[in-house]
Amino acid sequence: MHLLLNLIKNAQRGNDKAFLELFKQYEQDIYRMAYIYVKNQNDAMDVVQETAYKSFKSIKELKEPKYFKTWLIRIAISCSLDILRKRKNIVPLKPEFEIYSTEDSQADLLSEVTLKDLIGKLQEEEKSVILLRFFQGLTLKEIADTLHIPLGTAKTILYRGLGKLRQNIREEEANEQ
């Protein structure tokens, strides 16, 4: 933790190598978070790039170095939502299909698609709280700090989102029978 705080302080003083080393530690987390939001590799990579740019440009404004990861995640969420807003104005010409050769990979793909679809049906605030809690492993307090919302609100959003996920799962199971 001490090494991490030193890296952050060095990056805040303008040390490019320190920033790059820091960002690399969280790059995969940012990509996974972005991918769940934007649902494709190209846009997720754009989110990672934009997050790197914005965080590099504004790292001097980070007041609490111990919250570096939550600060990065907040920037990534913001960039993901920007891409989703821009995408609403674009009409896709054709759907993209991927072909998988084994049954195992098809089963994995189906469960992955189903989870993404279920999470995709949630409101943005519910999606953010659930992703931060279960995909990033943040505590409710950290989620509240990251999203700048009261702790009670974070809990309410989490439980409401989980309730909707349970309901969506029940509906999916009913449709399959």
Q: Are both 68 and 111 inside the same structural domain?
A: no
Q: Are both 22 and 65 inside the same structural domain?
A: yes
Q: Are both 121 and 150 inside the same structural domain?
A: yes
Q: What is the mean pLDDT of residues 29-52?
A: 90
Q: Are both 139 and 161 inside the same structural domain?
A: yes
How many structural domains compose the chain? Answer: 2
Residue closest to 33 by CA, chosen among 148, 114, 145, 136:
136
Residue 5 tokens read as: 């705080």
Q: Are both 78 and 129 inside the same structural domain?
A: no
Q: Are both 78 and 113 inside the same structural domain?
A: no
| Confidence at residue 90, expressed as pLDDT on a 0 to 100 scale | 52
Q: What is the mean pLDDT of residues 79-106?
A: 58
Cα separation, 82 vs 64, in Å, equals 25
Domain stop point among 96, 111, 126: 96
Q: Are both 106 and 80 inside the same structural domain?
A: no
Domain stop point among 76, 96, 116: 96
- One-character DSSP codes across 87-146: HTT---SS-------SHHHHHHHHHHHHHHHHHHTS-HHHHHHHIIIIIS---HHHHHHH
In tens, the pLDDT along 108-149 reads 444 444 666 777 788 888 888 888 888 778 889 888 888 889
Residue 165 has pLDDT above 70, yes or no: yes
What's the CATH code of the domain at 57?
1.10.1740.10
Region at 39 (left for phi over 0; alpha for psi -120 to 50; beta for the rest): left
What's the CATH code of the domain at 170?
1.10.10.10
| Confidence at residue 177, expressed as pLDDT on a 0 to 100 scale | 66
Q: Are both 46 and 30 inside the same structural domain?
A: yes
Q: Are both 9 and 73 inside the same structural domain?
A: yes
Give me the chain's average pLDDT, please.
81
Q: What is the mean pLDDT of residues 143-171?
A: 88
Range of the domain at 28: 1-96
Q: Are both 60 and 146 inside the same structural domain?
A: no
Domain stop point among 41, 64, 96: 96
Q: What is the mean pLDDT of residues 21-46?
A: 90
Q: What is the mean pLDDT of residues 77-82?
A: 89
Residue 65 tokens read as: 């170095």
| Confidence at residue 93, expressed as pLDDT on a 0 to 100 scale | 42
| Confidence at residue 142, expressed as pLDDT on a 0 to 100 scale | 86
Q: Are both 68 and 112 inside the same structural domain?
A: no
Q: Are both 111 and 89 inside the same structural domain?
A: no
Question: Residue 76 — pLDDT band, cuts 50, 70, 90?
Answer: very high
| Confidence at residue 89, expressed as pLDDT on a 0 to 100 scale | 58
